[in-house]
Amino acid sequence: MYPAPFRYFRPGSLDQALTLLSELGESSRPLAGGQTLIPILKLRMDEPTDLVDIGRLPGLGSINIEDGIIHIGSLATHARIGRHAVAGMIPVLADCANGIADAQVRNRGTIGGSVSTADPSCDWPTLLHTLDADIVCQNAHGSRSVPIREFIADAYTTALGNAELVTGIRFKCPPENSGGSYIGFKKAAPAYPAAAAGIQITLAEGDVCSDVRLVLGAAGPRPVICGEAESILRGNTITRANLEKAAEAIIAESDPPSDIRGSSGFKRTMLHSLFMQAADIAINRARGNRVQGVHEYV
């Protein structure tokens, strides 16, 4: 299927892009890498009248660390993030970035585009919950920062206002004795995950969990988080029994849809397996061990 007709604009600066989006109105859409938007247009899930190409805007593809805060520009591609030094410092970033689709998609797709679309099966909106990331948004009148747990409102629905763009993502560097892991279950590498689990954990002496963030992806209209599951682990010694209780609590909050990728029951079984695998890798990384990230395929 071909997209509906649209007009194409290519501004030379962020200010020009924001002004264009404001003037063109609600039927306009920003275009970055296009790896999420173009399939949506081809399926006519959305029929904008105007596309504003922001993919070459200067200054939005940088990645840096300042005063213990990681800053990732919205136009940073998955491949660039996966190769960057921050992915070596924070392995869960490499798990996510390097596990997205294939090389072609990773070299074109951007983190900002992934977050802005809020597809329930996209990797970045899920993974960023484990890092308590803030999403930096900007329109012609100024910028604001929205916590990721408030930014994703529903399937394909975010806190972005009219003529507002995601310009960056930022989060604190995890403290010492921290480790994370993100694992997706896919039918093939280019496919979206049918289920995914992420964890970021910090350990104190004696394998006591001092802090933790848990999330499930492709398990409902938005990433699944569960304060009860995190409280089961936080302040307690990490044991298999506690991990099983946490897995049971967060999976009880999930609502994975039955589709061609599997039934709801099958996906819940996979979520449990992915959660336990991710927990094992994250805990080993928090102990200082080097563990290669993995994804599961049919």
Beta strands in 112-164 (DSSP E): 134-139, 142-147, 152-154, 157-158
Q: Which of 90, 269, 226 is nearest to 234 (CA)?
A: 226
Q: Which amino acid is at 91?
A: P
Q: Which amino acid is at 183?
A: I
Calculate ∠ Cα 75-80-85, nearest 5°: 120
Check residue 208 and give its pLDDT: 98
Check residue 157 and give its pLDDT: 95
How large is the greatest C-alpha to C-alpha distance in the chain, in angstroms? 62
- Average pLDDT, consecutive stretches of 10 residues, N- to C-terminus, the chain (298 residues): 86 96 92 85 86 94 96 97 96 96 92 95 96 97 97 96 96 97 91 95 97 98 98 98 98 96 95 98 97 79
Check residue 296 and give its pLDDT: 75
Check residue 78 and give its pLDDT: 97
Contact 291, 213 (CB under 8 A): no
DSSP state of 101: S
Homologous superfamily assigned to 178-297: CO dehydrogenase flavoprotein, C-terminal domain (3.30.390.50)
In whole angstroms, what is the distance from residue 180 CA to residue 211 CA?
12
In whole angstroms, what is the distance from residue 3 CA to residue 11 CA?
22
Q: Which of 199, 197, 232, 229 is nearest to 213 (CA)?
A: 199
Q: Which of 222, 186, 182 is nearest to 200 (CA)?
A: 182
H or E element that contains 200:
strand 195-204
Check residue 294 and give its pLDDT: 78
3-state secondary structure 212-232: EEEEEECCCCCCECCHHHHHH
Does CATH place domain 63-172 in 3.60.15.10? Answer: no
Calculate ∠ Cα 263-265-271, nearest 5°: 105
Q: Which amino acid is at 60?
A: L
Segments making up each domain of the chain, as ranges:
7-53, 63-172, 178-297
Task: Kindly report the CATH class assigned to 7-53.
Answer: alpha beta
Contact 151, 115 (CB under 8 A): yes
For residue 83, give every residue at least 6 positions away whose Cβ sits within 8 Å of its Cβ, in sequence order, or none.
none
